[in-house]
């Protein structure tokens, strides 16, 4: 029984290590899905060759996190195998019962790790611990950009007949819609970060833009002649900003009184 308890403890610890690694990768700018997959890949030493794998080693911080996960995975695999051998050694007659206990406990651990309320409490604790205990330069870009709310960083391609095609950035007045162009990936593979106001969009350019999800979806599908949609988006964004400003002012006055 001691060997089974040790095995379950090791599995739980391994899952916690992967979760810590995923959160650390998220704090370097990777998306939640990419960070979770790369952390699990590094820990299990699966080594999937994807574009996301290349992103996971583009900075010194990410390389250190991946290296630590690989080392932890090596130690965890050896310990798990040893615990399995000890759990079944000399007790062949109880093997089915012990296997049932292990499987049931593992199902329970996995179910707990997937519960929303559990993750909502665990992830902030991990972020707090990492920010105070690691020498790595980690920033939670998701929280910084409020990506957990309705804001997103998205990319879409400039299509023939699209609203952006052939237009100069300054004439589009996208900030008035609540949209901010972060960069342009050109068909040649070049990248223009924080493009200047006189940048002209061409077919095939991939636009990296920050804003609210509905606005991003609408502008990505907008046709070249649809200036009315632009005016409506500007009016909607102005009304939203005014409402939030008024609410913030009221709260400030209430606290001051």
**What are 95-111's pLDDT values in tens digits?**
677 677 767 777 887 78
Same domain, 166 and 226: yes
With a threshold of 0.95, does the pTM exceed it?
A: no
CATH of the domain at 195: 3.30.70.1450
Residues 44 and 97 reside in one and the same domain:
yes
User: Which of 100, 133, 166 is the endpoint of a domain?
Assistant: 133
How many domains, in total, are found in the chain?
A: 2
Query: How many CB atoms are closer than 10 A to CB 35?
Result: 25
Does residue 142 fall inside a structural domain?
Answer: no
Tell me the angle at which helices 95-113 and 116-133 cross, rounded to the nearest 10 degrees. 80
DSSP-derived 3-state class of residue 199: coil
Domain boundary among 76, 107, 133: 133
- CA-angle at 174, arms to 170 and 176, nearest 5°: 110
Instruction: Please tell me whether residues 18 and 114 are part of one structural domain.
Output: yes
Residue pair 201/219 in contact (Cβ under 8 Å)? The answer is: no
Statement: residue 170 has pLDDT above 60: yes
Instruction: Find the domain containing 210 and state its range.
Output: 151-256
**143 in a structural domain:** no
Q: What is the pLDDT of residues 9-36, one digit of tens each?
A: 777 888 888 888 888 887 777 777 778 8
Residues 19 and 104 in one domain: yes
Question: 39, 25 in Cβ contact below 8 A?
Answer: yes
Asked whether residue 6 falls in the same domain as residue 107, the answer is yes
């Amino acid at each position: 029984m001691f060997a089974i308890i040790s095995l379950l403890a090791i599995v739980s610890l391994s899952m916690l290590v992967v979760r810590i690694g995923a959160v650390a990768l998220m704090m370097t700018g990777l998306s939640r899905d990419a960070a979770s997959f790369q952390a699990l890949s590094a820990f299990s030493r699966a080594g999937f060759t994807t574009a996301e794998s290349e992103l996971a080693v583009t900075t010194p911080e990410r390389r250190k996190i991946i290296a630590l996960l690989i080392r932890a995975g090596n130690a965890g695999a050896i310990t798990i195998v040893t615990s399995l051998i000890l759990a079944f050694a000399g007790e062949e007659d109880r093997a089915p019962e012990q296997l049932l206990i292990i499987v049931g406990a593992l199902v329970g651990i996995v179910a707990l790790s997937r519960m929303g309320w559990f993750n909502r409490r665990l992830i902030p604790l991990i972020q707090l611990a990492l920010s105070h205990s690691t020498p790595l330069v980690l920033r939670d870009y998701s929280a910084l950009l409020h990506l957990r709310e309705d804001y997103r960083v998205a990319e879409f391609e400039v299509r023939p007949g699209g609203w952006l095609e052939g237009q100069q950035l300054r004439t589009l007045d996208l900030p008035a819609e609540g949209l901010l162009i972060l960069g342009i990936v050109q068909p040649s593979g070049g990248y223009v970060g924080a493009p200047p106001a006189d940048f002209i969009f061409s077919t095939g350019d991939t636009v990296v833009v920050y804003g609210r999800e509905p606005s991003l979806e609408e502008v990505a599908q907008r046709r070249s002649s649809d200036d009315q949609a632009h005016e409506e988006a500007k009016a909607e964004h102005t009304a939203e900003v005014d409402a939030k400003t008024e609410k913030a002012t009221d709260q400030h006055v209430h606290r001051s009184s």
